[in-house]
């Protein structure tokens, strides 16, 4: 057992009832018992994704599911638009380039959200673009992009809209079918409260039609094999059985509360976290902050790496630092999935202590007080 408080934007804490399932004896996947569970979990994921279309389950990290989208939706030489703005948006670009896709980018400054009009402009400039790749929550900057707005402009074109919702789904609102998102990609280790190791995609009919037409070589990620296997509630290759069984337990938690209330609860924790940061005089990095993770600018004179290390060394609270050029300049404090009010308050206590230790004193308890005040109107049960 560890006493660590994990406030990282993936992996996020795995609740005890989900961990109990992970520790059970393994079952075989070519059985009616497993197939019934697998079917139910995919139906549960449809509810979380808000889609009526089939969900594909991959044994991979989230990046594997992103790769599956690229290799099944585009052929070499096709043109695609990537909406930038962070390390994970850049992964779409790297993936596309690795597979010979011509990429037009919509530049977005780190910390800013893409303006749908920029995307509309890119679509006008690149009328042959076959896909627009975007990100719901850009985990590296804490920005939630306006996917509804981006979907509205993309719907005016022939391009498919493919969204990385790995850290966004279940934390930020995402009305996949209603908004017109064609392909949604997600992973297990964020708001789904599981260890990493499962990737998921949902594809609508337009997207599936493309899967049948593209020529990019593929095998492990050939979605045609998964579609065929899905007809028998099966996968073409051995699934990560223990994670799928645990998914049933984590989905039960989410669906018992309801997807909408889970997102609202996460939004309340995010608002409270932002209030707490404000009370400590800290600046938010994200212009359009996500519900799942709050990115905070490290105050001048404080070493960001030392800040996160001190939080962990003194209080066993782990937040994430910045990635790439944001390293040392921001830290990221997650409040999605199983993270609740108590963990957020523990995070603020650790943050206040670490800031003081690093020569940036703040009023002890000011952050936590603001968090509690912000959550005052919310029933405790809703933010556990």
| Residue numbers at the binding site for a copy of itself (CB under 8 A) | 1-2, 4, 6, 8, 10-14, 19-20, 22-31, 59-64, 67, 76, 94-95, 98-100, 187, 189, 195-197, 216-222, 237-243, 318, 320
Residues 6 or more apart whose CB falls under 8 angstroms from that of 340 comprise: 269, 383, 384
Determine how many CB atoms are found less than 10 A away from the CB of residue 338: 17
Q: Which is nearer to a copy of itself, 211 or 370 (CB)?
A: 211
Residue 134 φ/ψ, nearest 5 degrees: -135, -175
- Minimum CB distance to a copy of itself, residue 303 (Å): 18
Q: Which is nearer to a copy of itself, 264 or 306 (CB)?
A: 306
Query: What is Dmax (Cα atoms) for the chain?
Result: 61
- Cα separation, 364 vs 32, in Å, equals 56
| Token output for 330 | 């921001």
- Minimum CB distance to a copy of itself, residue 3 (Å): 9
Q: Which is nearer to a copy of itself, 131 or 271 (CB)?
A: 131
- Minimum CB distance to a copy of itself, residue 308 (Å): 10
Q: Which is nearer to a copy of itself, 102 or 216 (CB)?
A: 216
| Token output for 286 | 């994200």
Beta strands in 101-208 (DSSP E): 102-106, 131-135, 137-138, 143-144, 160-164, 183-187, 198-203
What are the C-alpha distances in Å from 380 to residues 80, 342, 376? 45, 10, 8
Strand partners, 27: none
Q: Which is nearer to a copy of itself, 1 or 231 (CB)?
A: 1
E strand or H helix that includes residue 379: none
- Cα separation, 57 vs 199, in Å, equals 6
Determine how many CB atoms are found less than 10 A away from the CB of residue 18: 24
- Minimum CB distance to a copy of itself, residue 25 (Å): 5
């Amino acid at each position: 057992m560890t006493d660590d408080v994990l406030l990282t934007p993936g992996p996020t804490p795995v609740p005890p009832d989900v961990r109990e399932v992970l520790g059970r004896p393994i079952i075989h996947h070519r059985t009616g018992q497993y197939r019934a569970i697998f079917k139910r979990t995919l139906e549960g994921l449809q509810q979380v994704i808000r889609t009526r279309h089939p969900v594909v389950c991959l044994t991979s990290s989230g990046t594997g599911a992103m790769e599956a989208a690229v290799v099944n939706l585009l052929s070499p030489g096709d043109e695609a638009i990537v909406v930038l703005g962070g390390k994970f948006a850049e992964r779409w670009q790297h993936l596309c380039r690795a597979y010979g896709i011509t990429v037009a980018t919509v530049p977005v400054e780190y910390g800013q959200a893409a303006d749908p009009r920029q995307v509309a402009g890119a679509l006008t400039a690149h009328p042959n673009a076959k896909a627009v790749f975007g990100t719901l929550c850009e985990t590296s900057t804490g920005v939630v992009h306006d996917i509804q707005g981006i979907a509205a402009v993309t719907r005016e074109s022939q391009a498919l809209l493919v969204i990385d919702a790995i850290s966004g789904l279940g934390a930020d609102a995402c009305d996949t079918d209603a908004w017109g998102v064609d392909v949604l990609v997600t992973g297990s280790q964020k708001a789904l409260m599981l260890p990493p190791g499962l990737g998921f995609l949902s594809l609508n009919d337009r997207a599936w039609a493309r899967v049948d037409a593209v020529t990019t070589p593929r095998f492990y990620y050939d979605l045609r094999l998964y579609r065929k296997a899905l007809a028998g509630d099966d996968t073409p290759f051995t699934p990560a059985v223990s994670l799928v069984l645990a998914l049933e337990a984590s989905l039960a938690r989410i669906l018992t509360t309801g997807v909408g209330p889970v997102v609202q609860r996460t939004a309340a924790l995010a608002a409270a976290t932002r209030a707490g940061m404000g009370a400590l005089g800290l600046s938010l990095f994200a212009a359009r902050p996500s519900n799942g993770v709050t990115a905070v600018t490290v105050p001048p004179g404080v070493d960001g790496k030392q800040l996160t290390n001190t939080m962990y060394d003194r209080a066993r609270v782990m937040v994430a630092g910045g990635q790439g050029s944001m390293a040392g300049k921001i830290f990221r404090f997650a409040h999605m999935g199983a993270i609740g009010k108590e963990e957020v308050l523990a995070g603020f206590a650790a943050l206040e202590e670490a800031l003081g230790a690093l020569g940036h004193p703040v009023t002890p308890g000011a952050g936590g007080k603001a968090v509690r005040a912000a959550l005052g109107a919310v029933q405790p049960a809703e933010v556990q």
